[in-house]
Amino acid sequence: MNFHAPSSESSAAACPVSSHNEWDPLEEIIVGRLEGSTIPSNHPVVTCNIPGMAARAQSLAAGFRFPKFMVEPAQEELDHFIEVLESLGVTVTRPEPFDHHAKFATPYWSSRGFCNSCPRDSMLVIGDEILETPMAWPCRYFETHSYRPILKDYFRRGARWTSAPKPQLTDALFDPNFELPKKGEPIRYILTEFEPVFDAADFFRCGRDIFVTRSNVTNKMGVDWLRRHLGEGYRIHEIKSRCPNPMHIDTTILPLGPGKLLINPEYIHPDELPDILKKWDILVAPDPTPIDDRILAITSMCGKWLSMNILMIDEKRMIVDPHHVNMLRQVEKWGFEPIPVPFLHYAAFGGAYHCATLDVRRRGTLESYF
């Protein structure tokens, strides 16, 4: 029997990696870095996931370093975010700075790198295991190498460190005729089932139940691979999303605590949720507050629902962007305590607080919430 669970409660408590859900009290977190950031090299799997104006800018400037006028304000926000986390008693761990402008190649293709802004994508924490994911963007192929000193340290201190099969990312993985679905058309994806690929950010964890949305970086074979890898101790449920260019679950649907589910009303129809989630309170995210700053709007790699990219400190406290006043007020009405931290400039590097972090240790045990 392949029962995948920590060896015992006491060893799980002592392990530097121990996180079973999105809301237990946060003890240690990896926060991304912007040093060495490089605009993603051109590839259809990149372009199809970036909003219109940013995609045009990205294809013109692919492979160049991100300009200072974008890095500096985002870096200031990041430094402040780290100060806030530390003031809350959370241990913040950082990857090594790396020059992502360096070119690399496999037998099939070559690319420059991207950055370490979003550790949420390249590593998945399930209990005491930290797993390097098989990512579909060629420019992210070696992204976890900046985290290897941290991973080796966690391993030496007792964590399980694994990696999914490194994908080949040949043309066979990408549908050459792919076009984004138009309004009303069925959702389709650029990926074929040539080999397993997934980003960790397409999953969220609720103890023994793990939820996933398929996307332009996560295929069915990737979900099947993880399901078989985790074995009988976990259940992976697919959530249907109506996002036309899906990449990552955390602007579509996110649990804020046991029994509390934040949903994006544009992408999630409650009737289509897996039955077990229908028993939870559905908290409908308010309309995101529009971003009028033209530069921010043009450079953002993300959609407008980044207002949902919340990081839970525990079941009550959460980090929210003060720009998104609708969200701030709404979560207060729902009984949460929002901690406002400005972070809009980080969107040019792929996300907000949930993307920019990886919670490696939360105080709590493996439970079944359904």
**Residues taking part in catalysis:** 199, 248, 355
Q: How far is Cα 351 from Cα 43, in angstroms, rounded to an integer?
A: 20
Of 219 and 252, CB closest to ligand ABU: 252
CB of 363 to ligand ABU, least distance (A): 26
Decide if 254 contacts 282 (C-beta within 8 A): no
Of 254 and 341, CB closest to ligand ABU: 254
SS3 299: helix
Query: Which uninterrupted H or E stretch holds 122?
Result: helix 119-122
Give the Cβ contact number of residue 264 at 10 Å.
22
CB of 351 to ligand ABU, least distance (A): 4
Decide if 263 contacts 310 (C-beta within 8 A): no
Of 18 and 219, CB closest to ligand ABU: 219
CB of 285 to ligand ABU, least distance (A): 12
CB of 55 to ligand ABU, least distance (A): 12
Q: What is the DSSP string of 210-275?
A: EEE---SS--HHHHHHHHHHHBTT-EEEE-----SS---GGGTEEEEETTEEEE-TTT--GGGS-H
CB of 183 to ligand ABU, least distance (A): 17
Q: How far is Cα 236 from Cα 128, in angstroms, rounded to an integer?
A: 18
Of 18 and 215, CB closest to ligand ABU: 215
Q: How far is Cα 276 from Cα 281, in angstroms, rounded to an integer?
A: 11
Q: How far is Cα 341 from Cα 343, in angstroms, rounded to an integer?
A: 6
Of 140 and 248, CB closest to ligand ABU: 248
Of 208 and 354, CB closest to ligand ABU: 354
Q: How far is Cα 192 from Cα 197, in angstroms, rounded to an integer?
A: 10
Rg (alpha carbons) of the chain, rounded to whole number: 19
Q: How far is Cα 228 from Cα 220, in angstroms, rounded to an integer?
A: 12
CB of 81 to ligand ABU, least distance (A): 16
Task: List residues binding ligand ABU (CB under 6 A).
Answer: 201, 247-248, 250-251, 302-303, 305-306, 350-351, 355
Query: Which uninterrupted H or E stretch holds 348?
Result: none
